[in-house]
Amino acid sequence: MNLLLALLPIAVAAVMLVVLQRSAMQAGLATLATAAIVALLAPPFRLEPGAIWMAAAQGAATALTVLLVLFPGLLLYHLLKTSGAIDVLAGAVARLSPRQPVQVLLLVMGLAPFVESVSGFGVTTVIVVPLLIALGIAPFTAAVLGTLSLMAVPWGALAVGTTLGAQLTGLEPNQLGLYTALVAAPLPACYGLVVLTMLGGWPTLRSWWPLALGAGGLLAAGLALFSLVPGIELAGVLASLLTLAALVGYALLRREATATGTSVTPGRLGVYRAVAPYGLLTLLLLSSRMVGPLRQWLLNNAVLEVPALNLRLPLLYTPGFWVLLACLGAVPLLGLRRAESVAALGRAGRQFWPGAVAVVSFLATAQILFASGMVAELSAVGGIFGSHYAWFAPWIGALGGWITGSNVGGNAMFAPLQAAAGARAGLPLEWLMAAQNGAGSHATMVSPARTVLTAAAAGLAGGEGRLLRAVGPLVLGATVLMMLVVIGV
C-alpha cells in the first residue's frame, strides 16, 4: 500500500501527459496537488502543512536554474527568427551537403552534443530545433530529433552532474565518466539509426546507416577516451567536436556540384553575421568554464543565497546569464531594430509563462516526494533483491532524472541510496553509479522541464504529452540497454 501511495503522484503525471494529453502546466499542477495531498493525509508520508510549503519552496528555488535558461533561450530563438538568421544558417547547412540525412546527423550528432556539453540544461534544443525546422523538418519531428540530440547529457554543462555523483559516492570523477561512457556506449549509434528511420523509414536507414553508426561510435569512443584524458569536464566538448569535424569532412568530400537541399535567400544577413550570436554564446560559455580565475570569480560573486531553501545560485555562472548576454549581443550583430527586438521579447514572454509554471510544479513535487519519504520508499524496493539489485539500479536512476529534470538533481536524490544498496548487495559501486548516472541523465531528456523547453522551441505549446509518448519508449529502451550492460559485467 505504501508503494502505491508513493507511486500515485508519478502515475498522475504520466496519465495527464500521456493518456489525457494535457499540457505540461496542467499536468504539473495536478501532480503537485496530488503529492501535497498524499503528504498531508497518508500516515506513512505525513508532513505538517508548513513542511509541505517549505519543500515546495525548495523545489521552486531549484527551478530557478532552469527558468534562468528557459527565458533567455526562448528570447535568443525569437531574435534569430525575427532577423532571418535561422534560415540563413539552415541554408548554409544545406549547401554543405544536399542530402537531408547528412544535414540532420551533422546537427543532431555533432553540433547538439557540443552545445549540450558546454551549456547543459537543455539549451541545445533551443538552438538545434529551429535549425531542423528551417531545413524542412516538420515541427513535431524536429522536436523529437532535438530531444534525441541531448545524447551527451552525462557530460552536459561540463559534466557538473557526473562530478556531483562522484563526490557523493567517493568515486573519482573521471573514473565515473569512463564507466558511464562504457554503459551508454551503444546509445549514440542507436539514436543515430532512429534519426534516420524518422527521416525516411527503411530506404533512408538502408542508405545511410554506416554514417550513423560511424558518427555514434566515434562520439561514444571519444566520450570514453576524453573522460580519462583530459577529464570529464572537457570530454563532451572534445568528443562532439571530433564527431562534428568528421561529419563536416564527410559532407565536404561527398558534396555534389549542384545542391538539391533547402534553398534559402540570405536577405540582409550573411552566414557569418547569422552565426555570430551562436559563436558569441559558445565563446562566453567556454570562457566562463575554462578560464580558472574567471570561473572562480563567477562562482563566488553575485551569489543568490537562501539558506532556508538550500539555495546557493551563482547568478553570473549560470548558463542562462551567458545566454542573456548573447541575446543582448545578438541585437546589434543581427541589425535588429528596436521594434523588432521588443516584439521578440513579447513572444518569448508569452511562451515562457506556461512552461515556467510546469517546471516549478514538477520540481516542487520532487522535493515533496523526497521530504515525505516517498522517494525512499520507491528506492527501498530494489534493496530487497540482494545481488539482483543491478536490475533495478538503472530504473531508480531514471526515476530521479525524470522527476527532477536534471542529472544534478537525480544524483543528489539517489546516488547515496545507490551506494548504500550496492554495499548491502555486495555489488561494484563503479558500475552501479554508472547505471545511475547514465540512466538518470538520459531520462532527463523526457523530463517535464526539458519537454516544455523542447516543445516551446518547436512552437508546440501544449504538445508536451505527444512528445513524451514519442520519445518516452526510446528512453525506456535506452534504460533497458544500460541495464543489460550492467548485468552483463
Digit-coded pLDDT (tens) for 433-475: 999 999 999 998 988 778 888 888 888 877 888 898 899 999 9
pLDDT of residue 13: 81
- Convert the pLDDT of each residue in 45-72 to its tens digit: 999 999 999 999 988 887 787 678 778 8
pLDDT at 258: 39
Average pLDDT over residues 153-171: 82
pLDDT digits (tens, 9 = 90+) for 316-367: 988 778 889 989 999 999 999 999 999 999 988 887 887 788 778 877 887 8
Virtual CA dihedral for 302, 306, 309, 312, nearest 10 degrees? 30
* pLDDT over 50 at 263, yes or no: no
- Given this model, what pLDDT does residue 110 score? 92
Look-up of cell digits 499542477: 29
Q: Write down the pLDDT at residue 213.
A: 97
Cα-based torsion angle of the residue sequence 416, 417, 419, 424 in order, rounded to the nearest 10 degrees: 150
Residues 6 or more apart in contact with residue 118 via CB below 8 angstroms: 157, 158, 237, 282, 285, 286, 289
Question: d(Cα 418, Cα 215) in Å, to the nearest integer?
Answer: 32
Which grid coordinates are listed for 208?
545511410
Determine the average pLDDT of the residues in 8-29: 81
**pTM score over 0.85:** no
Q: Kindly report the length of the chain.
A: 489
Mean pLDDT lowest for which of 31-35, 87-91, 183-187?
87-91
Rounded mean pLDDT, 117-134:
81
pLDDT at 379 over 70: no
Report the C-alpha gap between 122 and 126 in whole angstroms.
Answer: 8
Instruction: Specify whether the CB–CB gap between 35 and 47 falls below 8 A.
Output: no
Is the pLDDT score of 161 beyond 90?
A: no
pLDDT, the chain, mean? 85
Q: How far apart are CA 128 and CA 134, in angstroms?
A: 10
Cis peptide leading into 139, omega within 30 of 0? no
Mean of the pLDDT values across residues 137-160?
Answer: 88
Q: Are 52 and 36 in contact (CB under 8 A)?
A: yes
Taking the C-alpha atoms of residue 208 and residue 192, their distance in angstroms, rounded to an integer, is 10
Contact 161, 405 (CB under 8 A): no
DSSP element (H, E) containing 89: helix 85-96
Cell of 297: 570569480
Residue 378 contacts residue 7 (beta carbons within 8 Å): yes
Dihedral sign, CA of 482, 484, 487, 489?
A: negative
Lookup result for grid cell 542573456: 324
Q: How many helices (H) and strands (E) does the chain have?
A: 22, 2
Cell of 251: 559532407
* Residue 474: partners with Cβ closer than 8 Å, 6 or more residues away: 148, 191, 194
Task: Describe the crossing of helices 123-134 and 85-96 by its angle, rounded to 10 degrees.
Answer: 70
The residue ranking higher by pLDDT, 169 or 182, is: 182
pLDDT reading at 259 higher than 60 = no
For 84-184, where are the alpha helices, taking DSSP H only?
A: 85-96, 100-106, 112-118, 123-134, 139-148, 156-169, 173-183
